[in-house]
């Protein structure tokens, strides 16, 4: 029997100077400081934030409070194996995810108390929704209305893809990220395969399939994601769209159900075509052709190889699952040091149905590049192309 090669090592944050180390050592403390300043928190919250700051800098992973509502779940997700170890020595994916869980504890998000349910990142998300750039992006929809269907489809797919640059956690630690120019040529582009997985425009209603969309950030990413969903429903290329968001605030700007409502309100209040799309999406939620789900696993510190049975069944039944963003990409292919030419189809073979990744590159993980693409990127930028947020990809495993 042929030996299956062992997968490459899981990424840790233990190497000073590496990207993951910088996220743990610098970005997380910066996020704590921003959150602290964003609300008139009481002394107990300040005290808890101080403790988290101290723990992040030189401490070890501490257990959840004994009465935490999700203690059993986190134990299933590997808490016992991480408690007592340095944040830098456990898998980076786990460490980052647990940081956000602890941050929510520190600000009293899970209550009881006055801060229960208050999203510590909401002021940043709302500021982005109110930004003039959002108005410009929505106004551009008017001109798109009269374009041929294929051009509209491409524009909306690319809107959703590049919307992934709008990631507040990323911009926080990399202040130049928003001003760096994106490189329009994709490092991998399976868009044609993606469209071929969906029926042509307007099939009989009972043949129109389900598309799952695993969303990433709120605001300027979620709006184009919703517009893509609206397009799929309006053209009949999907009969139903299931939008997966996070059950609670996560990675600063990740979308929650509240953010979906905010984005829809923003759309319906805008002038022109945007409002029409917003109204259709609102109606789609009412008639069930658009569904929002906030599954606990969406904020799990684990790769998608660990999908629970209900999600496996759901994705198995979809004509296509769209996986948005960098973090979801890491979870999809595994947060490992893959050689960049590792076939995307191989590392996603386990996924229960056809899957497409739409991602701008903001961490070291990458698969599915041709040798020529990789060497061209390295020649031009060293390894910066992996993390700078200027490159993007569309990868599909039918």
Ligand X SMILES: O=P(O)(O)OC[C@H]1O[C@](O)(CO)[C@@H](O)[C@@H]1O
Query: Could you list the residues that contact ligand X (CB under 6 A)?
Result: 23, 96, 164, 167, 169-170, 216-217, 251, 325-327, 330, 362-363
Rounded to whole angstroms, the Cα distance separating 39 from 34 reads 9
User: Is 331 in contact with 304 (CB distance < 8 Å)?
Assistant: yes
CB of 283 to ligand X, least distance (A): 29
**What letter would DSSP give residue 60?**
B
Find residue 322's DSSP bridge partners: 213, 356
Smallest separation (angstroms) from ligand X to the CB of 96:
5
User: What are the tokens at 294?
Assistant: 């906030």
Instruction: Identify which of residues 167 and 259 has a Cβ nearer to ligand X in the complex.
Output: 167
Nearer to ligand X, 217 or 298 (CB): 217
State the pairing for strand pair 240-244/290-293. parallel
DSSP tag of 10 = B
> Which of 82, 80, 63 has its CA nearest to residue 10?
82
Six-digit token pair at 146?
């009269």
Q: Smaller CB distance to ligand X: residue 219 or 236? A: 219
- Nearest distance, CB of residue 166 and ligand X, angstroms: 9
C-alpha dist (Å) from residue 215 to 167, 269, 298, 315, 317 = 12, 22, 10, 14, 18
Phi and psi at residue 248, to the nearest 5°: -155, 165
**Which CB sits closer to ligand X, 101 or 280?**
101
Measured between alpha carbons, how far is residue 186 from residues 85, 190, 361, 370, 394 in Å? 39, 10, 10, 12, 7
Shortest Å, Cβ 387 to ligand X: 7
Residue whose CB is less far from ligand X, 169 or 236: 169
- Residue number with CB closer to ligand X (362 or 397): 362
Instruction: Report in angstroms how near the CB of residue 113 gets to ligand X at its nearest.
Output: 28
What is the Rg, in whole angstroms, of the alpha carbon atoms belonging to the chain?
A: 21
Rounded to a whole number of angstroms, the minimum distance from the CB of residue 220 to ligand X is 12
Q: Which is nearer to ligand X, 262 or 364 (CB)?
A: 364
- Minimum Å distance from CB 180 to ligand X? 14
CA 115 to chain centre: 25
Nearer residue to ligand X within complex by CB, 245 or 327: 327
Q: Smallest distance from the beta carbon of 19 to ligand X, in angstroms? A: 7
What's the maximum distance between 2 C-alpha atoms anywhere in the chain? 63
């Amino acid at each position: 029997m042929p030996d299956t090669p062992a997968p490459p090592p899981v990424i840790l944050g233990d190497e000073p100077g590496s990207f993951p180390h910088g996220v743990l050592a610098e970005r997380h403390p910066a996020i704590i400081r921003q959150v602290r300043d964003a609300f008139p928190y009481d002394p107990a919250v300040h005290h808890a934030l101080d403790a988290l700051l101290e723990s992040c800098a030189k401490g070890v992973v501490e257990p959840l409070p004994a009465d935490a509502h999700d203690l059993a779940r986190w134990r299933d997700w590997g808490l016992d194996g991480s408690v007592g170890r340095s944040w830098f020595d456990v898998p980076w994916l786990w460490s980052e995810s647990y940081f956000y869980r602890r941050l929510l504890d520190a600000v009293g998000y899970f209550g009881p108390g006055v801060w229960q349910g208050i999203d510590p990142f909401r002021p940043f998300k709302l500021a982005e929704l109110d930004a003039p750039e959002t108005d410009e992006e929505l106004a551009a929809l008017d001109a798109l209305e009269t374009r041929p269907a294929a051009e509209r489809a491409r524009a909306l797919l690319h809107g959703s893809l590049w919307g992934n640059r709008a990631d507040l956690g990323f911009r926080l630690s990399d202040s130049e990220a928003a001003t760096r120019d994106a490189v329009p040529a994709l490092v991998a582009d399976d868009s044609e395969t993606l469209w071929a997985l969906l029926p042509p425009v307007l099939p009989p209603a009972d043949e129109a399939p389900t598309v799952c969309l695993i969303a990433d950030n709120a605001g300027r990413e979620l709006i184009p994601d919703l517009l893509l969903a609206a397009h799929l429903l309006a053209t009949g290329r999907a009969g139903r769209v299931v939008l997966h968001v996070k059950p609670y605030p996560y990675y600063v700007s990740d979308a929650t159900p509240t953010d979906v409502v905010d984005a829809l309100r923003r759309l319906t209040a805008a002038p022109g075509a945007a409002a029409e799309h917003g109204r259709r999406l609102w109606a789609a939620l009412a008639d069930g052709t658009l569904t929002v789900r906030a599954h606990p696993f969406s904020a799990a510190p684990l790769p998608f190889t660990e999908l629970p049975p209900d999600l496996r069944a759901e994705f198995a039944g979809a004509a296509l699952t769209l996986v948005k963003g960098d973090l979801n990409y890491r979870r999809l292919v595994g947060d490992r040091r893959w050689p960049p030419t590792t076939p995307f189809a191989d590392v996603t073979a386990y996924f229960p149905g056809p899957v497409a990744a739409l991602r701008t590159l903001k961490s070291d993980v990458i698969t599915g590049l041709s040798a020529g693409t990789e060497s061209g990127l390295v020649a031009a930028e060293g390894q910066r192309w992996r993390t700078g947020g200027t490159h993007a990809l569309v990868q599909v495993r039918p």
